[in-house]
Amino acid sequence: MNSIEQALTEALAIGRQYVDQGECASYIPELSRADKHALGVCVMTASTDRYAAGDTKTRFSIQSISKVITLAVALQHCGFEKVFEKMNMEPSGDPFNSLVKLDLTDDKPFNPMINAGAITTAGYLEPDVSFEDLLAYSRRVCLDEGIEIDERVYESEKNHCARNRAIAYLLQSKGILTGDVEKSLDLYIRMCSLGVTAESLAGLGLVLANGGLHPQTGNRLMDADVVRVVKTIMLTCGMYDESGEFAVRVGVPSKSGVGGGILSVVEKRMGIGIYGPALDKKGNSIGGRHMLEYLSQALGLHMFGTGEA
Ligand code: GLU
């Protein structure tokens, strides 16, 4: 066993100790059907070696991790200035689906990693970029041709999206969402319903770690300046209102979703994908978060080093 394999085996054992303390998301009914004890971690290294432990081939919905892909496409399509003309790049410190600051503190969404921001981003793309275009692009950047929309999750979320619909219409009232509100919301929900695996997330993580280049062909999948923006926002805003503590403890740009996924990017070295649908109170995979904390120490992944002199 090499050191990565061994670290993944140990991480999995540590993560499993925490899953009973978490719960699957239930506000989208279909998500509550997940096996709360499922847990897996996959690493893809810069030399494209793949290491896996646990449930790394189970498909689950990408949920908020799609915000990374949508942001990247919006930056490519509209450019930095346009994307951030109507949206900030600050952590909100509030839950991902909160409307409070949007209404009371600032008329712009705080960042593209919360729902208000991602619905805004979807609004930038709709009607120029279709869901089919985004699906094809998601397959390319995740190195996974098997990605499809999970129709059950899509229907379930579509039928339980009162809060996101409220956010979308609030955005319209503030002149942020200027196109078709329902179509923008639908694009957002479709993207959240993509079925991925921990392996697909590791693939996406590797593309981001590799500055936007396909790790095997060397083809450019994302502009380098877009990748830089995306990773920075993942670091500051990617783990809900736990982003600060996660950055201190793990020190790896990451994005989680309420389907139980976590996408992590270790600069120039590897992509990490996690699946663990039991969530902590903030909405992050509880087993996944502890696995990443362990891996950061065991493999020296923290972007600011080991902390030793
Ligand atoms: N589709 C979910 C929602 O809009 C995404 C939430 C998440 O993963 O953070 O509520």
Q: Tell how far the Cα of 249 is from the centroid of ligand 1, in angstroms.
A: 24
pLDDT attached to residue 76: 97
pLDDT attached to residue 77: 95
Q: Tell how far the Cα of 49 is from the centroid of ligand 1, in angstroms.
A: 31
48-53's contacts with Cβ under 8 Å and 24+ in sequence apart are 48/206, 48/215, 48/216, 50/199, 50/202, 51/4, 51/5, 51/8, 52/8, 52/198, 52/199, 53/5, 53/8, 53/9, 53/11, 53/12
Reported as a pLDDT band with limits 50, 70 and 90, residue 106 is confident
143-157 pLDDT, tens digit each: 999 999 999 999 999
pLDDT attached to residue 102: 75
Kindly state the average pLDDT of the residues 20-33: 96
This prediction's pTM? 0.97
219-271 pLDDT, tens digit each: 999 999 999 999 999 999 999 999 999 999 999 999 999 999 999 999 999 99
170-216 pLDDT, tens digit each: 999 999 999 999 999 999 999 999 999 999 999 999 999 999 999 99
> What is the overall mean pLDDT for the chain?
95
pLDDT attached to residue 101: 75
Of the residues 36, 43, 67, 138, only one is catalytic, namely 67
Q: Is the pLDDT of residue 2 over 80?
A: no
- Structure tokens given for 7: 């670290």
pLDDT attached to residue 236: 96
Reported as a pLDDT band with limits 50, 70 and 90, residue 287 is very high
- Structure tokens given for 185: 């919301």
Residue nearest to atom 2 of ligand 1 (CA): 63
Q: Check pocket membership of 61 for ligand 1, CB cut-off 6 A.
A: no
The percent of residues above 70 in pLDDT, for the chain, comes to: 100
Reported as a pLDDT band with limits 50, 70 and 90, residue 98 is confident
Q: Is the pLDDT of residue 1 over 70?
A: no
Residue nearest to atom 7 of ligand 1 (CA): 64
Is omega for the bond preceding 127 within 30 degrees of 0, making it cis?
yes
pLDDT attached to residue 94: 74
The Cα–Cα gap between 149 and 191 comes to: 8
